[in-house]
């Protein structure tokens, strides 16, 4: 496993339960992941170090958690070294690594998405004209990886022009040298996941998340304050439509373009009046979506990911528990702005013992048996139960047992699916 966050903790937790997994290493991992895996202090972008570790330990399968090593070419390096990997090549990872590439790809392969135009910093004036002519609302996106901060949904032209100045002014480094300007789609958002082995596709569930920091989905964007699965709005018919119109043409298109996709493909969708449209591709599981997907997975994740690497998904199917899952993220006060690291979290043992509760750690370390927060998003408290409402109650029951005055969470995760009005 490559990574260190809540997603990777959930992946390690799931993989450690696989009868196929004899030994699990995680680079770099964390104190929480160390309960499931042997952690090795290598950064996720240390491609040389990770490849050398795999040779040394005769690793059979590598599972990259985050997008960065994939975009940098980790899968290509491992592949060249004869090591199996459940993640896409750098060429296929451009689906996430470059929004301009993804847009051109969608246009070429007839995949429904927001109408868009792409501009480099040399075309700043033309980009400004585009925003003014189109008018608001309008969406401005930095082309490259910007840790979830590169997208502005502008309610007026001024905000759209500001977003352009920011990107071209260097706010996102080289990721903002090119921008995509696109129409603002209306509808409900949902995420659709698929396992892909180059040719074959297995649907891997649906989820919805809450990106904004504040209740009622207000305030600045974050990496994700909570999620639930399955997404009730993704009916079987709608899921099949999105598979047929978006996921399968994507896989076929990449294969036709000479860069077949292997790994988890995550499509962020807008359910518009004209049907599902693609908002973005991710080339990995989401965080906290991984947490809610994986607690529901009955099948052996190890076997499935080997199937991805070996190109044999056509011989596999997968099973889910009937339960719903809901995850509440506990974050350090101040996040996504400035915050102070190093506060102590108490009560985790008691919270973990509750029925139907699993707590994944995104950013903690152990200091003489004390759990210390080391980041913005710190814990993913995940409840599972026969209904989404009960899953929510279990998650918040656990949250309420956790004693961490320096932390906070949203109290309305799942509102759209449960109450239809924010609390």
Q: Which residues bind ligand AMP (CB under 6 A)?
A: 114, 139, 141, 151, 153, 182, 184-185, 189, 211, 268, 279-280
Q: Which is nearer to ligand AMP, 36 or 182 (CB)?
A: 182
DSSP 63-119: -B-SHHHHHHTHHHHHHHTT-EESS--HHHHHHHH-HHHHHHHHHHHT--B--EEEE
Cα–Cα dist 27/3, whole Å: 6
Backbone torsions φ then ψ of 345, nearest 5 degrees: -110, 125
CB atoms inside a 10 Å sphere around CB 240? 12
CA distance linking residue 86 with residue 185, whole number of Å: 32
For the bound state, the minimum distance from the C-beta of residue 217 to ligand AMP, rounded and expressed in Å, comes to 9
* Closest separation in Å from C-beta 375 to ligand AMP: 21
**In angstroms, what is the minimal distance from the CB of 150 to ligand AMP?**
7
| Residue 199: Cβ-neighbour burial (10 angstroms; 0-12, 13-18, 19+) | middle
Place of tokens 């996504």: 336
Please name the residue that has the structure tokens 């569930």.
Answer: 205
Rounded CA-CA distance 263/88 in Å is 6
Q: How far apart are CA 268 and CA 189, in angstroms?
A: 7
Do residues 195 and 201 make contact, with C-beta atoms less than 8 angstroms apart?
yes
Question: Closest CB to ligand AMP among 77 and 94?
Answer: 94
**Between 175 and 306, CB nearer to ligand AMP:** 175
Q: Residue for token digits 């950064």?
A: 43
Question: Radius of gyration over alpha carbons of the chain, in Å?
Answer: 21
Give least dist CB 185 to ligand AMP, A: 4
8 A C-beta contact, residue 198 and residue 261: yes
CB of 340 to ligand AMP, least distance (A): 28
Instruction: Choose between 283 and 306: whose C-beta lies nearer to ligand AMP.
Output: 283
| Residue 141 C-beta: closest distance to ligand AMP, Å | 6
| Cβ proximity to ligand AMP, 28 vs 223, nearer residue | 223
A 10 A CB-CB count for 361 gives 27
CB of 291 to ligand AMP, least distance (A): 18
The residue of the chain with the least Cβ separation from ligand AMP equals 280
* Cβ-based nearer residue to ligand AMP, 279 or 371: 279
- Three-state secondary-structure class, residue 61: strand
Nearer CB in complex with ligand AMP: 181/201: 181
Strand partners, 359: 381
Find the shortest distance in angstroms from Cβ 309 to ligand AMP.
27
Shorter beta-carbon distance to ligand AMP: residue 201 or 269: 269
């Amino acid at each position: 496993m490559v990574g260190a966050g809540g997603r990777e903790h959930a992946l390690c937790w799931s993989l450690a339960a696989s009868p196929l997994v004899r030994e699990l290493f995680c680079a770099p991992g964390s104190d929480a992941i160390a309960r499931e895996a042997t952690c090795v202090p290598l950064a996720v972008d240390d491609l040389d170090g990770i490849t050398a570790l795999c040779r040394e330990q005769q690793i059979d399968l590598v599972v990259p958690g985050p997008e960065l090593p994939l975009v940098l070419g980790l899968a290509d390096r491992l592949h060249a070294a004869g090591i199996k990997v459940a993640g896409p090549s750098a060429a296929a990872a451009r689906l996430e690594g470059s929004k301009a590439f993804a847009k051109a790809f969608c246009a070429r392969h007839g995949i429904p998405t927001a109408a868009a135009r792409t501009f480099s910093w040399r075309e700043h004036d033309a980009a400004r004209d585009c925003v003014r002519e189109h008018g608001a609302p309008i969406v401005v996106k930095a082309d490259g990886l910007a840790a979830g901060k590169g997208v502005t949904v502008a309610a007026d032209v001024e905000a759209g022009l500001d977003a352009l100045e920011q990107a071209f002014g260097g706010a996102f480094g080289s990721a903002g040298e090119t921008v995509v300007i696109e129409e603002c789609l209306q509808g409900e958002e949902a995420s659709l996941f698929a396992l892909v082995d180059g040719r074959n596709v297995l649907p891997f569930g649906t989820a919805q998340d809450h990106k904004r920091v504040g209740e009622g989905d207000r305030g600045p964007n974050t990496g994700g304050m909570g999620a639930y699965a399955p997404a009730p709005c993704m009916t079987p018919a709608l899921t099949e439509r999105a598979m047929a119109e978006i996921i399968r043409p994507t896989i076929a298109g990449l294969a036709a373009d000479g860069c077949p996709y292997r790994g988890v493909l995550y499509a962020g969708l807008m359910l518009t009046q004209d049907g599902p449209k693609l908002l973005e591709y991710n080339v990995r599981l989401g965080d906290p979506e991984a947490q809610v997907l994986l607690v529901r997975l009955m099948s052996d994740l190890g076997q499935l990911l080997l199937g991805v690497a070996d190109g044999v998904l056509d011989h596999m199917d997968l099973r889910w528990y009937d339960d719903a899952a809901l995850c509440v993220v506990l974050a350090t006060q101040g996040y996504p702005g400035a915050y102070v690291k190093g506060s102590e979290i108490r009560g985790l043992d008691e919270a973990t013992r509750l029925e139907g509760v699993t707590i994944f750690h995104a950013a903690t370390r152990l200091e003489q048996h004390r759990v210390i927060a080391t980041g913005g998003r710190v814990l993913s408290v995940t409840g599972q139960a026969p209904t989404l409402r009960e899953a929510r109650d279990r998650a918040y029951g656990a949250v309420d047992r956790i004693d961490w005055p320096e932390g906070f969470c949203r109290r309305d995760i799942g509102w759209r699916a449960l109450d239809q009005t924010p609390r």
